[in-house]
Structures are given as C-alpha cells and as structure tokens.
Amino acid sequence: MNELTNVLNYTKSTLNKTEYKGTIKDEKEFYFLVRENGLTGMLFESINKDNISSKLYNNLRRDFFEYINSDNKHLLWINKLKEIFNKNEIKHIFLKGSNLKHMYPKTYMRAMGDIDVLILEKDLNKVNTLFKSLNIKLTSKSISHHVYETLDNVNLEIHPRLYTDINKYNEFLKDPFKYSSKENELTYKFNTSYELTYLIFHLEKHIKAGGIGLRSVLDIGIFIKNNSFDEELLEHFIKLNDMESFFKSIVYLNYYLFDLKVNLNIMKDFKMDNKLLNDLTKHITIAGIHGTGRDHNPFESRVISDSDSKFKFLMKRLFPSYKEMTGFYPILKKLPILLPVMYIIRFISVVFINFKTNLRKLIKTNKIKDTDKTKDIFKKIGL
C-alpha cells in the first residue's frame, strides 16, 4: 500500500488537469493498485514516460489501449441498443456505467464490464426474441437480469426489474420508471436523487459481495459533482432505505481520497475518524473492483454479509431459496412442485458439471480465517 499516495495523486491530477511528478519506488505495487482498482484509464495520460521504467510504461499503455477499445465497443452498443429498443417500442433506462462514463473527463476513463439496461418486465420475452434474431446470445438468467453476449464479445445485462424479492429495498426499487422522465423517444432517465440512491444501493451490494475498488468510490463523487439534486428527496430516499451511514461514508471518502468536496445538506458536520478512514480505504483498495484484488478473498465479505458461518453460507449457495431458484429455473413459477427435482439438478451441476470452478470457490471459502476486522468496518459504516 506504499504506492497508494501516488495512485491517488495521479488520479487527482487527471481530475484537476494539473501535473503530478511523484516518484514511483515500487512499480509492481503501483501497477497492480492501478489495474485492480480500475484506474488505468484515469492515470495513463498523466504519467510522464521518462519518470518510469519501460516495462511499467508498456504494461500501462497496453491496458490503456484495452480501455479505449472496450470504450469504443461499449459506446457503439449503447447507441445500437437505443436504436433497437426505440424502433421496437421497448421502454428502457440505461444504468450505471452507461451514464457515468459521460461524466468523466474522457469516456474511456470509466471502464465497463457490461452494459446494464432496465426494461419493463412485460417486454422481456420480446427482447429475448429480438436478440435471438440479431445473433445476440443468451448466456445466463437470474431473477433480476438476463445476460447476453454480442458477436463482438460485449456483455449486455437486461434487467426486467431492479429488485429480487429478497432484499430490504424492494419498495424503493419496485417501480423505478415512476422516478424517471423521457430523454428521447423511449429512452428514459432517472431523477438524479433516485439514481444516486440506486448507485449507493449497488455499491452496498458489491462491497458485501466481494469488493468495490477505488474507482467505484470515485463514481459517486463524479456523479454528485456533475449533477444537481432535490436534496429533500435525496435525504428521504437515503433515510427510507436505512443507508445514511454508508452513504455518508462513501461521500466522505471522496473528499478524503480525491479532494472532491461535496456540498450536500445531509453531509453537514459529518466526519470519520482517521483509523476508520484508513481501515476502510485499505479494505476497498485491496479488494479491488468486484473483489478481484490478488491479495483479497472475496468470500470473506460474502460470508459476513450473508451468513454467520462458512457452513451456512455454502448451504445457501448449494440450496438457494425458492425465489432465487425461480431465477435459475423459470418453470418453477408455474410448477413449484418441481422444486426438489431442480435442487437435484442444481446439485449435479454444482458438484459434477462445474466441479473445478466450484472447487476453487470452496477452497477460498475454507481459507477464510479472521473476519472480525472486516465485520467491525462494515458495522461502523452501516452495513
């Protein structure tokens, strides 16, 4: 973590369009911190080639061009999807990265793993048929979204809903189009107070599921900086969903890490002690985007958030609730009597068909030892 100061200062120099000339002593650590926290697109153009080794420069440049290539493909497909949905009368809202990338200094600075789009539940079968005719392959299903892959390897997540019937935010997420307005044709956009609350909800989901990384924290600061809010409505949404502590912690982190000062009434007089700031920063940084950090075990957060023991966590993964099972096997909605059969099918799939993948997950879960520190951090930030 010795190179974290350099990573943060280079990020701030990009945001402020200033120059930073810090000396990178541990280039390997610097490279992995940048890569695992989704900041290559932010930093590369701010780094002076003459101040670093050719190896580090070439590695960063390679990753940077991957960012640009990915960005071009995502921008192309965002526009294609708008055309497809508008032409076929499918009401839709683009979520998360599709909107956030336009708030960064350059769109490629905000990478995306996939394109998330919200539609009305009644239109899901229509989208399935439409995508099939366009050679867009359905790769997986769940309660909250279907995942598709285009011929040029872009992942599309189509959400017929924002909720899963199994979390505490159901009422807030149940009718999201109610909090949107038309941008053009059938493309809609959330009210900014609703969207910010949804982004915080999504961040909470991912920090519990494994990790969020520094760029995900920066998303919140960038969003607030680039939008205006009905603060009374925002405060209502945040308190309604019991996420005040987590919201304030993430917003305060943006000031602490990136000097992004936020002028929101809800943040008045809020401060975090230095120990919690350092512990939270370290946890987020080591975890990386979606918990992919090389020194992080993503199953630690999942066990803490989902169960009170490793055994219970594994049993929930092997035998999910009926609601979750209907996402994997939609036939259960019509024939719930088949649930025992589907559990057997899932068991066979987990144990035999996907044996290697699930064995790795089991080994990682078994390696979890001391969760007290992470539990303490989560408790202090309201999770």
Is 361's pLDDT higher than 60? no
Q: How far apart are CA 308 and CA 296, in angstroms?
A: 20
Q: First vs last Cα of the chain: how many Å apart?
A: 25
Least confident of 8-22, 202-216, 264-278, 334-348: 334-348
- Of 256, 289, 222, 290, the closest CA to residue 39 belongs to 289
Crossing angle of helices 372-380 and 274-287, in 10° steps, is 120
Where helices occur in the chain by DSSP H, the ranges are 4-16, 27-36, 40-43, 54-87, 97-100, 124-133, 170-173, 192-209, 213-225, 231-240, 244-258, 274-287, 298-306, 310-318, 322-328, 339-348, 355-366, 372-380
Of the CA atoms within 13 Å of residue 131, those in its CB half-sphere come to 23
Please tell me the pTM assigned to this model: 0.86
Characterize the bridge pairing of strands 92-94 and 115-119: antiparallel
Confidence of residue 355 (pLDDT cuts 50, 70, 90): low
CB 299, CB 365: distance < 8 Å: yes
Is 225's pLDDT higher than 80? yes
Q: Supply the pLDDT for residue 344.
A: 86
Q: Supply the pLDDT for residue 334.
A: 87
CB 11, CB 42: distance < 8 Å: yes
| Domain limits, the chain | 191-295, 298-367
Is 351's pLDDT higher than 90? no
Contacts of 328 (CB under 8 A, 6+ apart): 141, 142, 320, 342, 346
Characterize the bridge pairing of strands 137-141 and 155-159: unpaired
Q: For residue 350, how far is the Cα from the chain centroid?
A: 25
What's phi and psi for 174, nearest 5 deg? -70, -40
CB 336, CB 319: distance < 8 Å: no
What's phi and psi for 140, nearest 5 deg? -165, 160
